[in-house]
Amino acid sequence: MTDDDKRTLRPASTSELEETLSFALRFAGKKRVHTADDVMARVTAERLVQHLEKSGYVLMKRPSSAVPSTSGHRHPNSD
């Protein structure tokens, strides 16, 4: 991690943590995992976030990056 990366870090919000953990419980990469349904994944994520916050953890997040294009072609609306 570079010094520039460290300067742009910010604390991750509770909702960001819950969404990320819930996603991790429901998917392996982009493949759906059927061991946890949506409701159970959300409840588990919320409980994990509550515990981490009570334990004093602070997770940092980088700014969102632009979504990369998978096309080598120019977008028709771009200049």
**Which one has a higher pLDDT value, 4 or 77?**
4
d(Cα 51, Cα 70) in Å, to the nearest integer?
39
**Nearby residues of 21 by Cβ (< 8 Å), 6 or more positions away:** 41, 44, 45, 48, 49
What was the pLDDT predicted at 39?
85
pTM: 0.59
| pLDDT tens track for 14-35 | 999 998 888 888 888 778 877 7
Pairing mode, strands 60-61 and 31-32: unpaired
